[in-house]
Amino acid sequence: MEDNTRIRIEDLSVIFGRRKKDAKKMLQQNKSKEEILKETGCTVAVNKVNFNIQEGEIFVVMGLSGSGKSTLIRCVNRLLVPTEGRVVVDEDDILTAEESRLRELRRKKFGMVFQNFGLLPHRTVASNVAFGLEIQGMSEEERMKKAYDVINTVGLQGYEEKMTGQLSGGMQQRVGLARALANDPPVLLMDEAFSALDPLIRANMQDELLDLQERVQKTIIFITHDLDEALKLGDRIAIMKEGYIVQNGTPEDILTNPADDYVKAFVEGVDRSDIVTAGTIMIENPTFVDGKKDGAEMILRKMNQAGVNILPVVDERDKFMGFVTDQDTSRLRKKEVNSIRDIIHDHSASVYEDATVAEIIPIFRDTSFPIAVVNKDNKLKGVVIHSAVVKEVVGREEKEIEQIIKEGYKI
Amino acid sequence: MMIIAMKFLGKSVEKGINWLSVAAGGFFDGITAGVDALVETLQTILLFPHPLVMMVIIAALGYYASAKNYKLLSREGWKAGRFLTLFIFFGLLLLERRMLLKIVDTVVMEFDYWYIIALILVIFIPGYQYYKKAKKSGLFSKSGFEAGGKFKHPIQFVVLLLAFLFLSKKYVGLIVMQQSYWEDTMLTLALVVASALLALVIGIPLGIWASRSDRVEGTVRPILDFMQTMPPFVYLIPAILFFSVGNVPGVVATVVFSLPPGVRLTNLGIRGVQPNVVEAARSFGSSDRQLLYKVQLPLAKPTILAGVNQVIMLALSMVVIASMVGAAGLGQAVYKGILTADVALGFEAGLGIVLVAILLDRVSQEIGNTERKSEE
Ligand SMILES: Nc1ncnc2c1ncn2[C@@H]1O[C@H](COP(=O)(O)OP(=O)(O)O)[C@@H](O)[C@H]1O
Ligand SMILES: [Mg+2]
């Protein structure tokens, strides 16, 4: 696999308090956060955290308040100096960098957005957005031109000369975002950037961030305490608890295999249908019918063995053709029809592996057949059956659902 | 035991100070020359123009300070600035006996037709204002009285009437002072401004330094406490030893006494800047210098200016005390009044100090005020 690692965090620990040395020792002995707090009065805010972030991905760090997210993200641009560990961004070791190099990196490589905006209240919107450029010594004219451009990008045109205090929260955060984007940094650090906003505006901003990401491809660390936000934005999600990372994976990993009860507690009550994909709930390597070779006898035997009454059919190049039922196959055996071609329901739908459950449900409304999962070449990868989908939606066990289906959809 | 120890402490401080005044004589001479030059320059500037011109200049400064948030030459500007401007002008005029008398001489005749016109105006101006506001609700009804601003215009009437009465030759003696205090007032102003300037030049950088390091703050704070709790008279003794008598020891004692709020409020102001704003500025790669000038000082400005105001007021409060070591100005007159039990002199010079105090306080506060007065 090609290594596109942009940010590498190794064994990062942050301890707050006076007796850091003792706390550090206890940490090495794998003592718990409470023990260390009790013994030394020190808070372990970040506890031996490791992860890599790839170029162009949105890496979400999620956790409850106080779990150390803000502390962690502040180590990335050294707003906070960690007690231990390494932070490497591209070829720079952030924590050992010279002061001047660090300033350079902050000016060119990082753009940061804060939960409480951190705007300069004595300046106009444009002047706030141009702040990073001003720090770099860009001329007034040039930086204002850029600032106006970026303000356009975030949809704040017409507000350039307003003081920031006159704006609503959502608009202020747009200013914050514009300020971070103004010097076109490859890495965005966003600490609960949308948490202070109303739900509606928040959803809006999330969409816009995704839009923007599609256009400009940044590497983004996004902090949130909200699972829905994490699932919506994250290419990968790290879940933090009491300073350490309990799980690090794709949104689907997190939902389908929560690492522990903490994660499970998060995941419960989430609308999974937008997240879980056909690839996850399909039956892989299903029994299939070879459309070229298999005759009626063979098909019926396969059905018997698999314990099903419907099977997918593929051609000689493994391409999906449709489904056959046991009843139709019996008709084939009795020679009521001439060839297998006449009994293949080739109108049955197929989906790609990354189709979400939400996208599959409407298809099931129109067919009583399972749905085939194929790749881009239409090769059969698996089969999604009704009960698997229903399970995702209502969260009941498969057996229970089959029972319900048999008894006639009395859900 | 205790008494012996006290003697010992006092004696050793005395010894140390004596030693210092000899050992660092050149240093103190340098300071003396510098402070003297500063005070004298300010005095010369303040006394150079015709007093009437200076009054107008200072009044204009007051006008600018209080009207700057509006268009200067507009109705709103005048509304915001008129009180302070007129107060400064007439206050200073009161202290300049010769000018006041000259004006009264040229303007006022004894109950002739001009004076009658003036009197009619006095009745007419507040009367018309009242009429304009109250006519809708009935001039002499209760609601009309309320719409007309209640007692505002009647009071205006009384004040104007008194003012014009005093401008008649018959009664002017009641408000004219027994001598002119113009030079003394300008000397006092020069001393206060020089002391405040020095206190701020030392205090603000010290405050900035303290805001950046807890250690510096921890060192400076008890020293400031000490400086503020010490009775200000005490500073006069070493001041005399180091700088002999005159304006310089007065200024030095004043600087020491008025320094603390400048340091304290600068430190407080900078530390009070929202940490998330500072953090954001840092995250974009600000150097310490950029952070200070682009973020911390602008945001701490209101607090720092409150400190400036306090420094000026403390400096003014030292005026009489400093005159004990020979500093010139109104304080000297008050001091003379005390020594000779001259109530008239003491009161008039004291009134002069009050006027200067109000002037400095209002102007220095208005400079820091960036808010528009809410419209009625
Ligand atoms: N400057 C600090 N001094 C002491 N403790 C701190 C400091 N900042 C954060 N903490 C502690 O570190 C832990 C993690 O805080 P934080 O990173 O802000 O969490 P989150 O952003 O996930 O809410 C908390 O227990 C918090 O009290
Ligand atoms: Mg936080």
Q: What is the DSSP string of A99-162?
A: HHHHHHHHHHTEEEE-TT----TTSBHHHHHTHHHHHTT--HHHHHHHHHHHHHHTT-TT-TTS
pLDDT digits (tens, 9 = 90+) for B211-242: 999 999 999 999 999 888 888 888 888 888 88
Cβ-count burial A334-357 (b if 16+ within 10 Å, e if not) = eeeeeebeebbbeebebbeeebbb
HSE-up of residue A278 (Cα within 13 Å, Cβ side): 24
pLDDT score of A129: 96
pLDDT score of B268: 96
Considering the domain architecture, whether residues B135 and B272 belong to the same structural domain is answered as: no
A66 in ligand 1 pocket by Cβ < 6 Å? yes
Indicate whether B3 pLDDT > 70: no
CA A261 vs CA A250, A264, A266: distances in Å: 18, 5, 9
Is B274 an 8 Å CB contact of chain A? yes
pLDDT score of A370: 87
Q: What is the mean pLDDT of chain B?
A: 85
Considering the domain architecture, whether residues B161 and B132 belong to the same structural domain is answered as: yes
Is residue B376 very low, low, confident or very high in pLDDT (cuts 50, 70, 90)? Answer: very low
pLDDT score of A200: 80
Q: How many domains is chain B built from?
A: 2
Measure CA of the first residue to CA of the last residue in chain A; give whole Å. 46
Is A119 an 8 Å CB contact of chain B? yes
For residues B80 and B271, which has the higher predicted lDDT (pLDDT)?
A: B271
Q: Domain end: B175, B207, B232, which one?
A: B175
| Mutation target among A71, A106, A113 for the B interface, most CBs of B within 10 A | A106
Q: Domain end: B150, B175, B200, which one?
A: B175
pLDDT score of A409: 46
A343 in ligand 1 pocket by Cβ < 6 Å? no
Q: Which chain A residue's Cα is nearest to B287?
A: A103
Is B295 an 8 Å CB contact of chain A? yes
Is residue B375 very low, low, confident or very high in pLDDT (cuts 50, 70, 90)? Answer: very low
Domain assignment present for B320:
yes
Q: Whose CA is nearest to atom 5 of ligand 1?
A: A16
DSSP state letters, A87-101? EEETTEEGGGS-HHH
Asked if B292 and A135 count as a contact pair (C-beta separation under 8 A), the reply is no
Considering the domain architecture, whether residues B95 and B166 belong to the same structural domain is answered as: yes
Considering the domain architecture, whether residues B109 and B130 belong to the same structural domain is answered as: yes
pLDDT digits (tens, 9 = 90+) for B127-149: 777 777 777 776 676 676 676 66
Which stretches of B113-213 are DSSP H helices?
Answer: 113-134, 142-147, 152-166, 182-212
Give whichever of A346-355, B28-37, B113-122 has the largest mean pLDDT. Answer: B28-37
Domain assignment present for B264:
yes
CA distance A56 to A76: 17
Domain assignment present for B346:
yes
B304 token code pair: 């720092």
Which value, in Å, is the radius of gyration of the alpha carbons in chain B? Answer: 26
Pocket test for ligand 1, best of A67, A71, A83, A244 (most atoms within 8 A of CB): A71
Indicate whether B269 pLDDT > 90: yes
Q: Which chain A residue's Cα is nearest to B276?
A: A118
Treating both helix axes as pointing N-terminal to C-terminal, what angle do B214-229 and B182-212 enclose, rounded to 10 degrees? Answer: 150
Considering the domain architecture, whether residues B201 and B339 belong to the same structural domain is answered as: yes
Please give the CATH topology (third level) of the domain spanning A278-407.
Answer: CBS-domain (3.10.580)
Where do the CATH 3.40.50.300 domains begin and end in chain A? 53-267
* A92-93 and A84-89 strand pairing: antiparallel
Domain assignment present for B275:
yes
Domain residues for the domain of B91 are 51-175
Phi and psi for B148 in degrees, rounded to 5? -80, 5
A68 in ligand 1 pocket by Cβ < 6 Å? yes
Per-residue pLDDT tens listing for chain A (411 residues): 457 889 999 999 999 988 888 888 888 888 888 888 888 888 999 999 999 999 999 999 999 888 999 999 999 999 999 999 999 999 899 999 999 999 999 999 999 999 889 999 989 999 999 999 999 999 999 999 999 999 988 888 999 999 998 888 889 999 999 999 998 999 999 999 998 888 888 888 899 899 989 988 899 999 998 888 999 999 999 999 889 899 999 988 888 888 888 888 777 766 677 778 888 888 888 888 888 888 888 888 888 888 888 889 988 888 888 888 888 888 888 887 778 888 888 767 788 988 888 888 888 777 778 889 998 888 988 888 887 777 777 665 566 656 656 665 443
ipTM associated with this complex: 0.74
* Local structure of residue A319 (DSSP, 8 states): B
Ligand nearest to the CA of residue A195, numbered in listed order: 2
Considering the domain architecture, whether residues B227 and B307 belong to the same structural domain is answered as: yes
- Which residues partner with A382 through β-bridges? A284, A373
Considering the domain architecture, whether residues B104 and B210 belong to the same structural domain is answered as: no
Q: Which CATH architecture has domain A53-267?
A: 3-Layer(aba) Sandwich (3.40)
For the segment B54-62, the average pLDDT, to the nearest whole number, is 92
A239 in ligand 1 pocket by Cβ < 6 Å? no
B180 token code pair: 């002119």
pLDDT score of A199: 81
A79 Cα: distance to centroid of ligand 1 (angstroms) = 14
Where do the CATH 3.10.580.10 domains begin and end in chain A? 278-407
Domain assignment present for B31:
no
Residue type, A203: A
Contact across the interface for A134 and B281, Cβ inside 8 Å: no
A115 in ligand 1 pocket by Cβ < 6 Å? no
Q: Domain end: B160, B175, B190, which one?
A: B175
Indicate whether B104 pLDDT > 90: no
A143 token code pair: 């930086």
Domain assignment present for B170:
yes
HSE-up of residue A92 (Cα within 13 Å, Cβ side): 19
Domain assignment present for B323:
yes
* Chain B residues touching residue A77 (CB < 8 angstroms): 283
Contact across the interface for A132 and B277, Cβ inside 8 Å: no
pLDDT score of B170: 66
Cβ neighbours around A2 below 10 Å, total: 6
Indicate whether B259 pLDDT > 90: yes
pLDDT digits (tens, 9 = 90+) for B336-360: 998 999 998 999 999 999 999 999 9
Considering the domain architecture, whether residues B145 and B235 belong to the same structural domain is answered as: no
A224 Cα: distance to centroid of ligand 2 (angstroms) = 8
Q: Which of B314, B281, B283 is nearest to B298 (CA)?
A: B281
pLDDT score of B54: 92
pTM: 0.75
Considering the domain architecture, whether residues B190 and B141 belong to the same structural domain is answered as: no
A195 in ligand 1 pocket by Cβ < 6 Å? no
* Domain CATH number, residue B198: 1.10.3720.10
**Looking at the partner chain, which of A77, A118, A135 has a beta carbon nearest the beta carbon of B276?**
A118
Contact across the interface for B290 and A103, Cβ inside 8 Å: no
Considering the domain architecture, whether residues B226 and B88 belong to the same structural domain is answered as: no
Considering the domain architecture, whether residues B64 and B91 belong to the same structural domain is answered as: yes
In whole angstroms, what separates CA A175 from the centre of its chain? 25
DSSP state letters, B344-355? HHHHHHHHHHHH
CA A333 vs CA A288, A336, A344: distances in Å: 18, 8, 14
Considering the domain architecture, whether residues B131 and B190 belong to the same structural domain is answered as: no
Phi and psi for A141 in degrees, rounded to 5? -65, -50
A219 in ligand 1 pocket by Cβ < 6 Å? no
Counting atoms of ligand 1 from 1, which one is nearest the CA of A240? 22
